[in-house]
Amino acid sequence: MNTELAWSKSSYSGGAGGDCIEVAAGCSTVHVRDSKRTPGPQLAFPAASWAAFVVYASGQ
Q: What was the pLDDT predicted at 25?
A: 93
Q: How far, in Å, CA of 33 to CA of 6, rounded?
A: 12
Q: What is the pLDDT of residues 25-54, one digit of tens each?
A: 988 999 999 888 888 899 999 999 999 999
Higher pLDDT, 18 or 4: 4
Q: What was the pLDDT predicted at 52?
A: 95
pTM of the predicted structure, to 2 decimals? 0.76
**Spacing of C-alpha 47 from chain mean position:** 12
* Confidence band for 6, pLDDT divided at 50, 70 and 90: very high
Residue pair 38/23 in contact (Cβ under 8 Å)? The answer is no
The domain ranges of the chain are 20-58
